[in-house]
Structure 1
Amino acid sequence: MTELGLPDGIRACLFDLDGVITETAVVHADAWRQTFNDFLRRRDGDSYRPFDETDYDEYVDGRPRADGVRTFLESRDIHLPEGDPSDPPDRLTVNGLGNRKNELLLELIRTRGVEAYDGTIRFIEAVRAAGLHTAVVSSSANCREVLRSIDAEDLFDARIDGIVAAERHLPGKPNPDTFLAAARDLGVEPKAAAVFEDALAGMDAGRSGHFGYVVGVDRVGQADALRAHGADVVVRDLADLGERS
């Protein structure tokens, strides 16, 4: 696998969606920022402390939607009722805030569109041509629709997303369970699978799951943090992996 920049023995590649396959991580961050800042402004008035990039990286990025809401609110010592997954987006519950974020996300995707990272698509095609299995592992409940929008659904042998995780009762990142489920679906041991992630929570999942190789994809200048959270290697684009071999 040296031509792909992967260690020998890797038989499967497990890819995060937002920020690794598609240029949607920034859209997610914008939706979270608007959701939380609207909530904080209503709660605290003009004295509110805004949700910022550090909050996104530490408490939200890569986590399932409700977990992101819960984790961020806990960091500010704010406690809301859990509510129900069907809560409307204006209800002040954990699920209500999460649904407001998803409403904003879908609106931003409709207005901005979705683009794939060309380097990632070429890398996945090379991985498949080399006979490796592939899976997409995302906390997003919109994963399948996003893949279809970029005509990439057929590039993956398995999909573990927010919907599948809920059906199987899998805890989300930073727990390794969704990546472990993808490896099982592909019929490989974790040590024979490589994880590709741009989120710190995803790095933690790759490390705690004892995967064979963990690749940090640095889109926003956080290479040191990705390494600190368990990346074996950090690249700006997956097209760079083969160049390192």
Structure 2
Amino acid sequence: MSASAPHHPESRQRCTVGSAPHSPLGLPAGAQACLFDLDGVLTDTARLHAAAWKEMFDKYLKARAEKEGQPFVAFDDVGDYDTYVDGKSRADGTRSFLRSRGIDMPIGASTDGVQEPTITGLGAAKNAMLLRRIRRDGVNPYPGSGRYVRAVRSAGLRTAVVSSSANYAEVLTAAGIADLFDTRIDGVTAQEQQLDGKPAPETYLAAATVLGVDPGGAAVFEDALSGVAAGRAGGFGFVVGVDRVGQGEELRAHGADRVVTDLGQLLTPVGPG
């Protein structure tokens, strides 16, 4: 599995997904590749991320409120998570939420540990809390997602994981689905290649390049509003919004061509929309 193959845009197979007919995979004819977000699309780890973000931010906000003699206002692991951090890198998510509270914090150094009052330090604290939860609670793939990815591969389509997480390998291995993907673009790759995170489309475009597929011939699968926006901004042929938390209308508003609550629903032939 490789994410560092050189970019050769001229080698992409030029094929724009058509609007009809739909295949047994629920995709328009002409689809050649499927690009999947990880947390909330393939595995149930979105809930672990939300809990870790809340644990980290509440600890920081409580200490700050006590120091400044201000009331403590907790991080909302639904509203704040969906609006400010879901689908984004740790640094971007941390910065985005803090700015919503009027807090401007330095990025810090890449070596900052969990005690440092920097964007990097808070991100490191969140990651440590997440890994504890993963090792304690385990990781479950969504059954419908596993069936769908296997059907995609059986049909001869290429597959990739595109995630802002730096823990993708541990999550996929724990979920038992690491062998289902031809490549991956994760948070580490994005940092190494200086790719802007979602809602910018760069990570998805990088995955398409590695697979040798034009964006118009690839489908994007996302549960985050920022990820759906990235799929639309990148000119991908089909964008599927996965609604795990009742935000179907928002997913459509951000550019999803179709919204499902489970990828298994796509295996039933349906009409456009």
The equivalences for 1:169-188 within 5 A come to: 169-188=194-213
Q: What's the counterpart of residue 42 of structure 2?
A: 21
**CA deviation vs aligned residue, 1:169-211 (integer Å, no higher than 9, x gap):** 1111111000000000000111100000000110110111110
Bigger radius of gyration among the two: 2
The one of 55, 58, 63 aligned to 1:34: 55
Q: What's the counterpart of residue 100 of structure 1?
A: 125
**CA deviation vs aligned residue, 1:147-183 (integer Å, no higher than 9, x gap):** 1122212111111011111111111111100000000
**CA deviation vs aligned residue, 1:98-147 (integer Å, no higher than 9, x gap):** 00000000011111111101100110000011110000000111101211
Q: Distance in 1 between matches of 2:172 and 2:140?
A: 10
Matched, 1:220 2:245: yes
Q: Distance in 1 between matches of 2:156 and 2:110?
A: 40
Other structure's SS at 2:97 match: helix
TM-score normalised by L of structure 2: 0.88
The one of 3, 11, 25 aligned to 2:32: 11
Q: What's the counterpart of residue 160 of structure 2?
A: 135
Q: What's the counterpart of residue 107 of structure 2?
A: 82
The one of 261, 264, 267 aligned to 1:239: 264
Q: How many pairs were matched up?
A: 245
Q: What's the counterpart of residue 80 of structure 2?
A: 55
* Aligned AA (2:145): T
Matched, 1:64 2:89: yes
TM-score normalised by L of structure 1: 0.98
Other structure's SS at 2:24 match: helix
* Aligned AA (1:47): P
Higher helix share: 1
* Aligned AA (1:181): A
Residue 37 of structure 1, CA deviation = 1.1
* Aligned AA (2:80): D
Other structure's SS at 1:68 match: helix
Q: Distance in 1 between matches of 2:269 and 2:82?
A: 27
* Aligned AA (1:9): G
Q: Distance in 1 between matches of 2:85 and 2:263?
A: 23
Q: Distance in 2 between matches of 1:237 and 1:244?
A: 14
Q: Alpha carbon RMSD of aligned pairs, Å?
A: 1.0
Identity between Structure 1 and Structure 2 (%): 57
Q: Distance in 1 between matches of 2:245 and 2:268?
A: 21
Q: Which has the higher contact order (CA 8 A, sep 6+)?
A: 2
144-153 vs 129-138, which moves further: 144-153
Residue 243 of structure 1, CA deviation = 2.0
Matched, 1:201 2:226: yes
Q: Distance in 2 between matches of 1:200 and 1:85?
A: 28
Other structure's SS at 2:160 match: strand
Q: Distance in 2 between matches of 1:151 and 1:27?
A: 18
Residue 48 of structure 1, CA deviation = 1.8
